[in-house]
Structure 1
């Protein structure tokens, strides 16, 4: 087990916005547009050069109003459920082909189309992939993933982990490190098992995060983490390195927010606001 924190690559004085990566976040829907805003803004605050947030067409205006610094794209939704339709799969894949890293899941709602899109991204994405929230839930129980996988990080909380593996939450929590390592080996991805002392493993290496506090246990915190991870992948970190550093920075921003605002009153936007300070602390 190692808890050494990887370092973000130094920035070249002659770099430009393209140098620091083009990232895509597929997130949000009506009633859940905040997930897309939080994730997209976290990508910006974590160093991504160019950010595009793809969301359902019905939510696109709200997402665009959330931050003027990222671009948005509209994807077709089912007129009844409001979730991604099968017609969104092709355009989403086209967007992904031109990005250095992709995040998918926050605020989308589970659907058959989303499950298909996640599997296709695992096969076809140009760069790294982060799968969170509804992206994980859409894979179903004991998923069989494509044999050719792009470098990927999955970020389940204990409930999502239990749904993926068929375990109870109590079983997951009884051996967090062993269960995370087993799932990482089985799926061929980096697993970031959220919770007190988040566990990160690629099946061989394993780290336990020491930053963070109970004030972070509220809606939107995971969306911020997804954005951080996509940003670090955009900046040429490996999935394991990005997951270890991302969990540390996420928790550190939460600790700064707690110290300033207290655990009771802090919210997910505070995590985003303290990301610059967290990265500065790392040097």
Structure 2
């Protein structure tokens, strides 16, 4: 069975006149490690710019102060760590407690690939089955090759680039558009997840529907860009969009921010923080359809 193409973008939810910070979702970002604290900062800042009511960033205690200095508008929590600055033994239980008060989790940016990281990520996925999770970057590495997770009552969104997707599947990365479409749809259908396969013409599918994104440019091929996207998708889920709609709209607005940034400073100089700074203008375009 072929997937049904999605031709229209989902609508950005209108902000309620009587809304408050609790109305728009609490995002828990589980990210960062020594040397990669910036990934946690980018993800947390992007979630705020994408409309999340509350954002809490959980990172190893060694980098908590650095992450806290990255933005005054999110909360931070320090988690026990290994000697290498990554999440340590027993930290999954600490994360369980934080997750229970969140509406959605974003896991993976800058976690590192140190001892125990894979066990940590799988433990969180197996335990927190009733909260939507957006899994990216080192979080994807931790579950590769992907054989599925515990039965979930809430969605799982995976956001790999082609190399990460190849590790997830255990197969060679697709080289043609037809192969990308076929493999992406088959993977999402098999595991009951939402898959966002990055690249020129990013694909988003839940195995039954397929969307090909048209925004974005080569200047976005820079470190940290994916961390921004993770935060955006998590924030949209927290505001009430379904996982597929949040991934589709997130891909569009992330790429649109990149296009606006490239228009202002060019593609060569574009960096991930520039994407965060241009998210407001991209979202403003969506608000014109309210």
TM-score normalised according to structure 2 size: 0.93
Q: Which residue of 1 aligns with 2:195?
A: 191
Offset from partner CA, 1:32-54 (integer Å, 9 cap, x none):
00000000000000000010000
**In the alignment, structure 1 residue 47 sits paired with structure 2 residue 61:** no
Q: Does 1:82 align with 2:85?
A: yes
Give CA deviations for 1:57-106 in whole Å, capped at 9, x if unaligned: 11101000000100000111111x32211221101111011100000000
Q: Report whether the alignment pairs 1:225 with 2:229.
A: yes
Deviation digits for residues 170-222 of structure 1 (CA, Å, limit 9, x no counterpart): 45866111111111012110000000000000000000000000000000100
Looking at structure 2, the residues matched to 125 and 44 of structure 1 have their Cα atoms a distance apart, in angstroms, of 24
**Residue of 134, 138, 163 corresponding to 1:130:** 134
Q: Provide closer, same or farther for how the CA distance between residues 67 and 200 of structure 1 changes in structure 2, counting only shifts above 3 A.
A: same
Match of 1:279 in 2: 283
CA distance in 1, matches of 2:240, 2:123: 22
CA distance in 2, matches of 1:111, 1:70: 26
Provide TM-score, normalisation by structure 1: 0.96
Which segments of structure 1 move beyond 6 Å, counting only runs of 4 or more? none
CA–CA distance in structure 1, aligned partners of residues 185 and 56 of structure 2: 32
Q: What is the Cα deviation at residue 125 of structure 1?
A: 4.4
1:113 corresponds in structure 2 to 116
Looking at structure 2, the residues matched to 86 and 242 of structure 1 have their Cα atoms a distance apart, in angstroms, of 33
Q: Deviations over 1:1-58 (max 9, x none)?
A: 1131101211111111000111100001111000000000000000000100000111
Match of 2:19 among 9, 15, 30: 15
Q: What is the aligned partner in structure 2 of residue 236 from structure 1?
A: 240
**C-alpha distance in 2 between matches for 1:2 and 1:89:** 37
Contact 2:49/2:280 (CA < 8 Å) preserved in 1?
yes
CA distance in 1, matches of 2:178, 2:81: 39
Q: For residues 126 and 144 of structure 1, do their structure 2 counterparts lie closer, same or farther at Cα, with a shift above 3 Å needed?
A: closer
- Contact kept in structure 2, 1:112 and 1:138, CA below 8 Å: no
User: How far apart, in 1, do the equivalents of 2:240 and 2:214 lie?
Assistant: 24
Aligned residue in 2 for 1:178: 182
Matched, 1:153 2:157: yes
Further displaced range: 139-148 or 273-282:
139-148
What are structure 1's unaligned runs of at least 5 residues? none
Calculate the aligned-residue CA RMSD, in Å: 1.5
Structure 2: tracts of 5 or more residues without a match: none
Q: Distance in 1 between matches of 2:72 and 2:22?
A: 18
Partner of 2:104: 101
Alignment of 1:203-222 (within 5 A): 203-222=207-226
